[in-house]
Amino acid sequence: QVQLVESGGGLVQAGGSLRLSCAISGRTFSPYVMGWFRQAPGKEREFVAAIRRSDSNTYYADSVKGRFTISRDNAKNTVYLQMNNLKPGDTAVYYCAAREDSIASYRYAAPNSYDYWGQGTQVTVSS
């Protein structure tokens, strides 16, 4: 069994920063790709960022490019999302996700490409 546990969410003013963490635990597990998604009330879950294990290539939604940075620490089996210059529109529950097997990069943004999900962490940005 694989568990993903997010942490680091909270309330921040517009322009502020937060760093989310996603710790992987359970059986030995080396995901091919890890992703961050978010879901605001009344909206569908949307892609935020992804990072591929083999070469640490990163992928971002246009809405967060230049503000968010995804990274990973393989020794700690943890993935991070550094969020800077936060905006009220970034308010959502943030989820990390993991896929074990290889997949084409154009599918990294699709929630149904991932095998495992965390429980989510709330990020609220006040204006």
Return the C-alpha torsion angle 1, 117, 74, 21, nearest 10: -130
Q: What is the pLDDT of residue 33?
A: 96
Which pLDDT tens digit goes with each residue over 25-80?
888 888 999 999 999 999 999 999 999 998 999 999 999 999 999 999 988 889 99
Tell me what the mean pLDDT of segment 83-97 comes to. 98
H/E stretch holding 122 reads: strand 121-126
Rounded Cα distance between 14 and 6, Å, is 22
Which pLDDT tens digit goes with each residue over 102-124?
999 999 999 999 999 999 999 99
Question: What's the DSSP call for residue 85?
Answer: S
Which pLDDT tens digit goes with each residue over 3-29?
999 999 999 999 999 999 999 988 888
Q: What is the pLDDT of residue 65?
A: 98
CA-only gyration radius of the chain, Å: 14
Helix (H, G, I), strand (E, B) or coil at 23: strand
